[in-house]
Structure 1
Amino acid sequence: MKFRFNYFALLIVVMLYACKQPSATPKTQTLLLSFKQASEKLKENPDLQQRLAYWNTQLKNNEVKADSVLRSKVHYNLAGVFYGMNKLDSLKYHMQKAWELMGNRKGYTEDQVQLYSGLGNLALLELNIHQENYYYNAAAQMLLADTAIKLTPKQKITVFFAAAQSSFQLRQFKNAFNFNRSAIALLPKLKDHIKEEFRAYNQMAVCFYRANGSTDSLYSYIKKMEQLYKKHPDFLNVKFIYDSKVSYFTTTKNLDSALIYNKKRLAIDVLDENENGKNAESVLRGNLFTSYTDLAGVYVAIKQLDSAKYYLNKCNSFLKKYPNKVDDENMLLYDQNLADFYFASKKYTLAAQQYDVLLARTKFVYELENARAVAEMGTIVQLKAKDKSINTLYETVALSSAKLQSNRLWLAVSTLGFLLAITVALLLYFIQGQRRLKSETERIQLEQRLLRTQIEPHFIFNTLSALQSFIRFNQNEKALKYLQQFGRLLRSSLQLSRESKVKLSEEIETLENYLSLQQMRYDDAFNYEINIDDSHDAESITIPPMLMQPFVENAIIHGINPNVKGGIITVNFDVKNETLLIVIKDNGKGFSKETAVKNHKSLATAISKERLAIIAKQSGEAAGIEIKSEENKGTTVWLTIPIKGMV
Structure 2
Amino acid sequence: MILALIKPKIWCLLLLILLIHPSQMVVGQTISRDVFLNDSISQQIKLAKSDTTMMYGLLKSIRRHRRSLKKYYKPLLVIYVGLSKDVGYRYGEMKSLDILGLQERYDENYDKSISLHNESLQIALQLKDSSQLCYNYNNLGQAYRKQDLNELAIKYFYLALEMYEHKGMTRQASYTHNTLGATYFAQDEYDKSAYHLNVSLNLAIDNKDKRTMSYNYGSLGEIMLKQNKGDEALAYFKKALKIKEELNYDKGMAVTYHLMGEAWFMKKNYPVSILWFQKAIKIHEKYNTQRYLSHCYAFLGKISLAKNELNNSTKYLDKADQCAENVHSIENLILIGDAKVELLGKQNRWEKAMQIMANTNSLRDSIRMARYQKEIQTLEIGYQTEQKEQQIEILSAENQIKNQRLRLGIAIIVILVLGLAFAYSVIVSRKRTTKLKEEKLQQQLLKSQMNPHFIFNALASIQNYMYRNDPKKAARFMGNFASLARSILNNSSADYISLEEEINTLQNYLELEQMRGNGSFSYSLNYDDDLETEFIQIPPMLLQPFIENAIKHGVKDMDSGGLIELNILDKEDLLYVEVEDNGVGIKSSENRKNNGHVSMATSIFKQRISILKSNYPNLPEPEMIDLSNEGGRGTLVKVYLPILNE
With the length of structure 2 as denominator, give the TM-score of the two structures. Answer: 0.49
Bigger RCO of structures 1 and 2 (CA < 8 A, at least 6 apart): 1
